[in-house]
Amino acid sequence: MAATLEFEKPIQELENKINELRSFSRDKGIDLSNEITTLEKRAMEVRESIYSNLNSWQHVLISRHPERPNTYDYINYIIKDFIELHGDRCFGDDPAVVGGIGRFNSRAVTVIGHLKGKNTKENLARNFGMAHPEGFRKGMRLMKQAEKFKRPVICFIDTPGANPGIGAEERGQFEAIARSILTMAALKTPIITVVIGEGASGGALAFGVGDRILMQEHTIYSVISPEGYASILWKDSSRAREAAEAIRITASDILDLGVADKIIPEPLGGAHRDPKAAADLLGEALADSLDELLELSLEDLMSCRYEKFRTIGNLK
């Protein structure tokens, strides 16, 4: 049972009532199927109405839902025979970043993504999806490897940002992110980036320079977390809701701003309600984008990628 978000309470109340009726009907042997059907219909309507009028902050909450499918889940659903590859060959292996080779619709691909955990224990092990320099350097290594063997690259973005800490700075967090952006800018193979949760700051962009940028319906992408924005600009992190509206971070905002290319629909109530269905929808969108990119010559691929980022903001 997925944890209920605050704005989902009206749905939850209806569902509780339905369950009560069901057990009452079973215990007492009374047929309440008409009442139950009516309530189920009502619950569906309420859910649809809530989910078609989400504000930015509600998108933030869904994008961070603890049970939301993570990079491993999508790999399990849509990548066959995945073999994980570890380490940056310089310092260590960052558990906040997952990478490897697998088969997507019968084609070998390289997959790289941030990895969040689903509970406190997992999150401590994965550092809440906040990468250290060695995580970005592992990603770069696998991208170069993909280029060498002419494999497309699929990146999953799901991070509150790069890790803030002493070790990360000592090992050159700034250089690792910059170098990863450069590696992607020059990589001679198709790259598809999918935001599957929250994407914030340079830690997200380090895997974000794709030929296609796809975002799932309830994800966010931002220069900084709403909390960070509120805390730095207004000295008040409790105004995060306001910040989320002000700087336009939802998938439809990012599409309107010309940064995202496509929004991938999610099952009603968010990807965590039906991870398998969410993965199928994601797989379809990936397949479409990959087909488009594989039609391009290398020269066209590279010039389209340049133009894509060159014209964001429309000043050129």
Q: Name the minimum Å distance from CB 143 to another protein.
A: 13
Comparison of 260 and 282: residue with beta carbon closer to another protein: 260
Neighbour-count burial of 248, counting CB atoms closer than 10 A to its CB (0-12 exposed, 13-18 middle, 19+ buried):
middle
The verdict on 316 binding another protein (CB under 8 A) reads: yes
Does 205 participate in binding another protein (rule CB under 8 A)?
A: yes
Nearer to another protein, 104 or 156 (CB): 156
Cβ neighbours of residue 175 closer than 8 Å, sequence gap 6 or more? 133
- Output the furthest CA–CA distance in the chain (Å, rounded): 72
- Single out the residue of 124, 186, 294, 304 in contact with another protein (rule: CB under 8 A): 186
Judged by CB, which is closer to another protein: 250, or 289?
A: 250
Span interacting with another protein, options 53-61, 92-100, 202-210, 280-288, rule CB under 8 A: 202-210
- Classify strands 107-114 and 97-104 as parallel, antiparallel or unpaired: antiparallel
Alpha-carbon torsion, ordered 241, 245, 249, 255, to 10 deg: 150
Site string for another protein, 233-272 (x = CB under 8 A): x------------xxxx---xx--x-x-------------
> Residue from 10, 172, 265, 267 that binds another protein (CB under 8 A)?
172
Among residues 30 and 182, whose Cβ is nearest to another protein? 182
Question: In which residue are the tokens 């592992």 written?
Answer: 138
The token pair at 129 is 């999806």
Q: What is the helix (H) or strand (E) element at residue 132, kind and residue range? A: none
* Region near another protein per CB under 8 A, out of 11-19, 172-180, 267-275, 276-284: 172-180
| Residues 114 and 68: beta-carbon distance below 8 Å | no
87 contact partners, CB below 8 Å, separation of at least 6 = 93, 134, 138
221 counts as binding another protein under rule CB under 8 A: yes
- Phi first, then psi: what are they for 197, rounded to 5°? -155, -115
x/- binding map, residues 13-52, to another protein, per CB under 8 A?
Answer: ----------------------------------------
Beta carbon nearer to another protein, 294 or 304: 304
Contacting another protein (CB under 8 A), which of 173, 216, 219, 289?
173
Interaction of residue 207 with another protein, rule CB under 8 A: no
The beta strand positions in the chain, using DSSP E, are 80-84, 97-104, 107-114, 153-159, 191-200, 212-216, 220-222, 262-264
CA dihedral sign of residues 117, 108, 251, 159: positive
Binding interface with another protein (CB under 8 A): 162, 164-166, 168-175, 177-179, 181-182, 185-186, 201-202, 204-205, 208-209, 221-224, 229, 232-233, 246-249, 253-254, 257, 259, 305-306, 309-310, 312-313, 315-316
